[in-house]
């Protein structure tokens, strides 16, 4: 199980010109293959007169889904080098579309491979990446008297506070690395004089 993965920090576009051909790389973080396909469709729609709209995407913290398309370029000269660049940079949950407007000069297979892979690498540099960490979802239930101070303490110690709900008691949803659960349990008991209840839930990335 992957403890962390890297993805693009935001959606973004980077353009470069090689031998009069324009190469425009659009990147976006995507959670599912369906989102990746929708992103590809949006970029294609935005560039209906482009010579090619090639794409590659990687889904899953362990890169379980990998797809690429040359969209009419010679086989293996566009989608594959784009996918290789995403994999080499270890980015996940990311879609890349490179739109090419042909400028009249043929690049040859080697030139195309360098161009398509290269523009994805440049776009990743321009947009930036961030690392997401796997953690355990946990719910802390505490009385109203201690809730405010506990929430402040959680935030002050760098905990990921995902949600706070007020009812008869207050429930605070947080994220914890698995390795920190025993130490957190002890800290919570100490901080709340044993009155808080900790329930562990599923896993997520943040």
Give the tens place of pLDDT for each residue, 8-38.
999 999 999 999 999 999 999 999 999 999 9
pLDDT of residue 1: 57
- Assess contact for 32 and 95: CB atoms under 8 A: no
Could you tell me the residue ranges of all domains in the chain? Answer: 4-127, 133-205
Residue matched to tokens 């709340």 = 192
* pLDDT > 60? residue 196: yes
CATH code reported for the domain at 133-205: 3.30.70.240
pLDDT of residue 42: 98
Q: Where does residue 146 rank: exposed (0-12), middle (13-18), buried (19+ CB within 10 A)?
A: middle
- CATH class for the region spanning 4-127: alpha beta
Assign 106 to helix, strand or coil: coil
Name, in order, each residue with C-beta under 8 angstroms of 29's C-beta and a sequence gap of 6 or more.
7, 8, 10, 11, 93, 94
Mean predicted confidence (pLDDT) in 49-70: 97
Helices (H) and strands (E) in the chain, counts: 5, 10
Give the tens place of pLDDT for each residue, 181-195.
999 999 999 999 999
- pTM across the whole model: 0.75
């Amino acid at each position: 199980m992957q403890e962390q993965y890297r993805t693009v920090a935001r959606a973004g576009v980077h353009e470069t010109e090689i031998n009069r051909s324009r190469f425009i790389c659009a990147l976006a973080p995507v959670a599912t293959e369906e989102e990746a396909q929708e992103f590809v469709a949006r970029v294609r729609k935005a560039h209906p007169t482009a010579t090619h709209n090639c794409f590659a995407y990687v889904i899953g913290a362990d890169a379980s889904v990998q797809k690429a398309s040359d969209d009419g370029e010679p086989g293996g000269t566009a989608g594959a080098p784009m996918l290789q660049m995403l994999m080499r940079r270890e980015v996940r949950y990311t879609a890349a579309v490179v739109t090419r407007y042909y400028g009249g000069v043929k690049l040859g297979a080697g030139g195309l491979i360098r161009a398509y892979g290269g523009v994805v690498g440049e776009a990743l540099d321009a947009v930036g990446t961030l690392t997401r960490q796997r953690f355990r979802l946990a719910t802390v239930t505490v009385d109203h008297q201690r809730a405010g101070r506990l929430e402040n303490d959680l935030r002050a110690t760098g905990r990921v506070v995902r949600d706070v709900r007020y009812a008869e008691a207050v429930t605070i949803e947080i994220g914890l690395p698995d390795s920190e659960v025993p130490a957190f349990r002890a800290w919570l008991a100490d901080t709340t004089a044993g009155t808080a209840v900790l329930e562990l839930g599923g896993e997520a990335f943040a």
